Every structure is written in C-alpha cells, then in structure tokens.
Amino acid sequence: MQVLKFKLHDIKAGSRKLVRTILLSFICPALSFGQSQPLTFEQYNPVSTLVVPEHLLSAAKFPFIDIHNHQPYMENQDLNKLVNSMDAMNMKVMINLSGKGGDALKQMTDNVKKHQYTDRIVIFTNVNFKGFGESNWTRNTLQQLEKDFKNGAKGLKVFKELGLTYKDEKGNRIAVDDPRLDPIWHKCAEYGWPVLIHSAAPKSFWDPMDDKNERWLEMYKHADRQYMNLDASWQQIIDEQHRMFRKHPKTKFINAHFGWLANDLAKLSLLMDELPNMYVEFGAVIAELGRQPTMARNFFEKYQDRILFGKDSWVPSEYDTYFRVLETSDEYFPYHKKYHAHWNMYGMGLSDDILKKVYYKNALTLLPGIKKSLFPD
C-alpha cells in the first residue's frame, strides 16, 4: 500500500483549512462531532453502561456527629440555616474546628448560646504559632487555652502548617514533635480534650509531578499543593507525628484524614495496634476507602471503636457519597470531585453496629459534654 505524502504549504490556500479539519478529525475525533475544542480530562465524564443496583442516600441511616468541619465565621453566622442543613442529612452534632481561640472563640460560643444550639454545635480552639520560641510564647498559649476552656471549647485542632511551614523565632521549621510543644499536649490531657491533628498531606504531593502521579490533576489545578521543594519530606513529618503520639500516651489524638494512610491500611493497622491513644477520621479520603471495599471493611471491623465520621469541607451535597460508601454495597459509582479521585468506588456495606459506632458512639466517648440523649442506645 502506498502512503500519500504531502506538505501542507504545497496545497492551495483555499484548501488548507479543509485539510487541517480532516487531519485534526483523526488526531482529535471530538472535532468531527462538531465540537470546537477537544474534551479535557475533567469534561470527559461518560455515563457508565453498567446496570447494577443503586442506593442513593441523602441522609445517614443513624444520627451522626461530624468530627471534622470548618465554620470559620461562626461568630456572625446565621446558625438556623446551618442547623437546617444538618437536620436534612441527620447530622445531630457538628464539630467546628475553626474556633481560632481567645476573643474570637468566645464570640462563636456566645453566638451558639444565643441561637440555643449548644447541644448541636461544638467548637474546638486553635493555637497561634506566631512568635513560637520566644520566652513568653508557652505561657501566653497556656493562658489562652485556659480561657478557651472556660469559654466552652471542647478540644484542640492543629492545622497542617505545623510541620510544613510554621517557623520558630530563629526561622527554623517547627517539627510536629518539637519538645517545646509538650506543655500543650499535657494541658489537653488535663482538660480531657481530644486533639484533632492534621499533619502533612497526601504523599503524592511530594512525588514527581509526572504521568505516574495519581494526584497530577490536583497538583496542576492547585500549584500550592506541590510540596517537592519543602524543607521536610512526607515521611519525616509523618514520623514526627507518630513520635509525638508515643510520647504523650495520656492525650487522645484524632489523626485527621486517616493519617494520610487510607491508601495503605496495612501500615495504618500496625500504627493502630502500636498507638492505642490514636483515633482516625476519614475526612477527604472516603474515595481511598471506596476503591478497596474489602480491605476497608476489614479495617473498620477490626478498629470499629476508634474510627470517627469526618467530612472536612462544608459542602452538604457531598455527604451523600460518604453515606453511600459506608452504608451500601453499591458497585462502581463516582466520587463527587474528579480532581481528588478519577476512579469509581464501591460501598463497604457496614453493619448497623459498626455504623452506630462510626456515626456517633465513638465520638461520644471522646468528646466531653455532648448530650447523649440526642442519639439512640
């Protein structure tokens, strides 16, 4: 068979546009269907032809406590609207991790009291790391925590910047297990506060941004999640966190996002066995669990007393995905945010006993002062 060879500039000008269109229709078939631009990865979202049972859920089977939520402007927020959204999905208690601390926290708790939602909304305080390492930082921080405790805070949230970007007075990175933080963890144990701590991020953010990286699209869309040039590696930060947990066995730590090990449950299982004071919540990593339903179900069965429901970002429509992965045995359904997970998921079909623990019983054992009568036995 002879191959026709030609150069585009050899063709008469009037015919070049037609030739380009024909050539591009082979290179980019989308153009031959009348589309002016080829589909992007995010736009390409084919409807599966798989016919399997579907159980679309808009509310949880049992009332639940969301241990990981962010409402940073609660001091001025219309809480009636918020609670109406909670009621629609059967959320009985929300934990607002963005309490800020000090006067801001008191304004939030005052607003909650004003709206008479003290049984429905719980607020965790935060630590301000500005000036860390200066002679008065520890004293001032402990004083703030005492004030926050008296003003109704029920726990402490530590953001991912500890270990990533926070610096001390000399400009050095503050390690998660920096001994100068020990008084903070001791104080939380004294108050009976759990510490929900987010350390590091998905390991892929440190890996080369190439065609082998599952998080390529996310890193492309969010350049601030490219951590390859940070001072500390992923493993270094994770190891610091685990050393800190070991050092403070009397403090209850909730490891946010399954400690970024939802994709390696065997390793997480070893840590759960070693660190009895560590609990986990699955905010923003439900897609990792949904693509390995057998492994995940086994993990939930083994550690059913130390797993908490967490969502992270407040997008009410996204909770449906969480309920479906936890409660149903559905097959091959999509995640709600493609740049987080470009794969489909499967339900774990957890038993009612485990669901009750994950939805509310485990949180009730950790959080002081939640009204137990809001929940079934």
Domain CATH code at residue 162? 3.20.20.140
Tell me: do 77 and 225 sit in the same domain. yes
Tell me: do 333 and 193 sit in the same domain. yes
Tell me: do 70 and 23 sit in the same domain. no
Contacts of 241 (CB under 8 A, 6+ apart): 163, 176, 177, 197, 199, 200, 255, 259
Q: Within a domain: residue 170?
A: yes
- The residues with which 123 forms a beta bridge, in sequence order, are 96
Q: Within a domain: residue 132?
A: yes
Cβ 323 vs Cβ 80: under 8 Å: no
The C-alpha R_g of the chain, in whole angstroms, comes to 25
- In our burial notation (b when 16+ CB lie closer than 10 A, e otherwise), range 80-95 reads eebbeebeebbbbbbb
Q: How many CB atoms lie within 10 A of CB 124?
A: 27
Q: Within a domain: residue 141?
A: yes
DSSP class of residue 357?
Answer: I
Tell me: do 7 and 128 sit in the same domain. no
DSSP class of residue 336?
Answer: S
The dihedral over CA atoms of 147, 150, 155, 161, expressed in degrees to the nearest 10, equals -10
Q: How far is CA 373 from CA 63, 158, 201, 228, 376, in A?
A: 11, 30, 37, 48, 7
Tell me: do 33 and 110 sit in the same domain. no
Tell me: do 7 and 148 sit in the same domain. no
Tell me: do 29 and 155 sit in the same domain. no
Cβ 96 vs Cβ 122: under 8 Å: yes
Query: Quick one: pLDDT at residue 29?
Result: 47
Query: Quick one: pLDDT at residue 374?
Result: 96
170: containing domain: 64-374
Tell me: do 86 and 13 sit in the same domain. no
Question: Exposed, middle or buried, 24 (CB in 10 Å: 0-12/13-18/19+)?
Answer: middle
As a whole number of angstroms, the distance between CA 212 and CA 224 comes to 20
Q: What is the pLDDT along the chain (377 residues), one digit of tens a residue?
A: 444 444 444 444 445 444 444 444 444 444 444 556 788 777 777 888 999 999 999 999 999 999 999 999 999 999 999 999 999 999 999 999 999 999 999 999 999 999 999 999 999 999 999 999 999 999 999 999 999 999 999 999 999 999 999 999 999 999 999 999 999 999 999 999 999 999 999 999 999 999 999 999 999 999 999 999 999 999 999 999 999 999 999 999 999 999 999 999 999 999 999 999 999 999 999 999 999 999 999 999 999 999 999 999 999 999 999 999 999 999 999 999 888 888 999 999 999 999 999 999 999 999 988 999 999 98
Residue 90, sorted as left (phi over 0), alpha (psi -120 to 50) or beta, turns out to be left
Tell me: do 357 and 222 sit in the same domain. yes
CA angle 44, 47, 52 (to 5 degrees): 145
Query: Quick one: pLDDT at residue 36?
Result: 65
As a whole number of angstroms, the distance between CA 257 and CA 309 comes to 10
Q: Within a domain: residue 210?
A: yes
Query: Quick one: pLDDT at residue 47?
Result: 84
Query: Quick one: pLDDT at residue 1?
Result: 41
Q: Within a domain: residue 55?
A: no
pTM to 2 decimal places? 0.89
As a whole number of angstroms, the distance between CA 303 and CA 313 comes to 25
- Beta strands in 239-376, from DSSP E residues, in sequence order: 253-255, 278-281, 307-308, 333-334, 344-345
Tell me: do 239 and 293 sit in the same domain. yes
Tell me: do 168 and 203 sit in the same domain. yes
Q: Within a domain: residue 140?
A: yes
Tell me: do 210 and 282 sit in the same domain. yes
Pairing of strands 64-69, 91-96: parallel
- If we measure between CA atoms, which residue out of 53, 106, 66, 244 comes closest to residue 163? 244
Q: Within a domain: residue 48?
A: no
- Beta strands in 49-188, from DSSP E residues, in sequence order: 64-69, 91-96, 121-123, 156-158
Q: Within a domain: residue 270?
A: yes
Query: Quick one: pLDDT at residue 45?
Result: 76
Provide the number of structural domains found in the chain: 2
- If we measure between CA atoms, which residue out of 260, 58, 23 comes closest to residue 163? 260
